[in-house]
Amino acid sequence: MNDDKKNQARKPLKAPERKANRRGAARLAAVQALYQMDIGGAGINDIFAEFECHWLGNEVEGDKYLPAEAAFFRDVVSGVVRDQAKLDPLIDEALSKGWPLKRIDAILRAVLRAGAYELEHRKDVPGRVVVSEYVDVAHAFVEAEETGMVNAVLDQIARQFRGSEFVRAGG
């Protein structure tokens, strides 16, 4: 991603073409909204209005954004806001010692919070799909090393909430 962090807050990125689905677009938008709320202090109602009126499924500055499942977008964003005091310590535990969540870049905090929320509350989506989707979202913003961290942290959280989905055959 070549945009600087200030532009990231104002201009959502296009969803990766290979993940061109409504929920994938909703996840990407939710992460962008959470990031914008974190760094800019925007309120949830302002974020919903901005994203639903101007970004989701619209053309902005010549880029066509994928239609997103608005209800899913709202659920993830509002769920993270509601449960953040519970999610942050959970993520802190899964991070390497010496790297608390507050030291992680704001965009990665948003990815981890959204993924953790979905793993805990969206049982209609398989845990491995949640982890994979948020690793893909992270790829839109950061380098491979950081996406590996996202994968490891969300995998650990997934095993806490969805242990039965992650039991290996023969072990």
**pLDDT per position as a tens digit, 148-167:** 999 999 999 999 999 899 87
Quote the pTM value: 0.81
Mean residue pLDDT across the chain: 81
Give yes or no for a contact between 21 and 41, defined as CB atoms under 8 angstroms apart. Answer: no
pLDDT at 18: 36
Return d(Cα 154, Cα 113) in angstroms, integer: 9
pLDDT at 108 over 60: yes
Among 9-18, 52-61, 71-80, 108-117, the range scoring the smallest mean pLDDT is 9-18
pLDDT at 53: 73
pLDDT at 35: 94
pLDDT at 56: 60
Amino acid at 33: A
pLDDT at 13 over 50: no
DSSP conformation letters of 121-145: H-TTS-HHHHHHHHHHHHHTTS-HH
Q: Answer positive or negative: Cα dihedral of 5, 103, 149, 111.
A: negative
| Beta-ladder partners of 64 | 59
Pick 6 or 80 by higher pLDDT. Answer: 80
pLDDT at 12 over 60: no
Pick 84 or 66 by higher pLDDT. Answer: 84
Return d(Cα 164, Cα 88) in angstroms, integer: 23
